[in-house]
Amino acid sequence: MQPDSQLVERAKRGERAACEELVRRHQDRVFHYALYLLPSWQDAEDVTQETFLQACRNLKRFRGDASFATWLLAIARTQVALWYRRRKRQREVIEVIDLTQADPAPPALLQIEIRSAVAALPTGYREAIVLRYVNGLDLVEVAKALGISAGAAGVRLHRARKLLRESLGPVLTEEVRR
């Protein structure tokens, strides 16, 4: 399997197949990121599609300072913000998605409680948690995706985990407690 860096170089030269492979590799990651931040499955699909359109159009701007996945999630973050801006929302309201459309891991009730608690977090904290625990980015990648320092990202994650512990209490799993 070719590394992302080689696929990016091929895509920059205009190879459509390379861009399509990058989309295949990263579409689930981007979709799940958007799904945690937007009110519906359809909205997450729309933002995912727009993210990849923007990424492919602007691939020549990718310098490689961060991983391709981190760069892509930064684009997704911008697309989520644009989605909210277009709808002129004063305050973001995140609904729990219909888990029957997803492929949730058991136990579903715990997953619903965790998703609800994450959805209730302030935007900056929610983004940090989703990037770290849903998308599996390390602290430096979270910082780059959010456009903040690693120290600030660490503080956001710490505060977000504290809020989740308070909100979820005894139902927390060991993964979230870390």
Mind listing the pLDDT tens digit for each residue in 23-71?
Answer: 999 999 999 999 988 888 899 999 999 999 999 889 888 888 889 999 9
Q: Among 34, 61, 94, give the residue marking a domain's end.
A: 94
Same domain, 41 and 118: no
Same domain, 39 and 109: no
- Name the residue range of residue 167's domain: 102-178
Residue-level pLDDT at 152? 92
Mind listing the pLDDT tens digit for each residue in 114-128?
Answer: 788 888 899 899 999
DSSP string, 102-140: S-PPSPHHHHHHHHHHHHTS-HHHHHHHIIIIIS---HH
Amino acid identity for residue 61 in this structure: R
Instruction: Locate 117 and state its tokens.
Output: 């608690």
Same domain, 84 and 131: no
- Calculate the average pLDDT of the chain: 81
Residue-level pLDDT at 107? 59
Eight-state DSSP code of residue 66: S
Same domain, 147 and 166: yes
Same domain, 112 and 160: yes
Residue 139 exposed, middle or buried by CB count within 10 Å (0-12, 13-18, 19+): middle
The number of CA neighbours under 13 Å toward the Cβ of 170 is 0
Q: Among 73, 94, 115, give the residue marking a domain's end.
A: 94
Q: Which of 99-113, 114-128, 149-163 bottoms out in mean pLDDT, i.e. has the lowest?
A: 99-113
Cβ-based neighbour number of residue 90 at 10 Å: 6
pLDDT band at 170 (very low <50, low <70, confident <90, very high): low
Query: How many residues make up the chain in this entry?
Result: 178
Question: Which CATH number is 77's domain given?
Answer: 1.10.1740.10
DSSP 3-state assignment of 169? helix
Same domain, 134 and 114: yes
pLDDT, greater one: 103 or 73:
73
Which residue do the tokens 């159009």 mark?
Answer: 57
Instruction: Locate 153 and state its tokens.
Output: 């990202």
pLDDT of 88 above 70 = no
Same domain, 126 and 157: yes
Give me the mean pLDDT over the 144-168 stretch: 89
Instruction: Locate 83 and state its tokens.
Output: 């989605």
pLDDT of 21 above 80 = yes
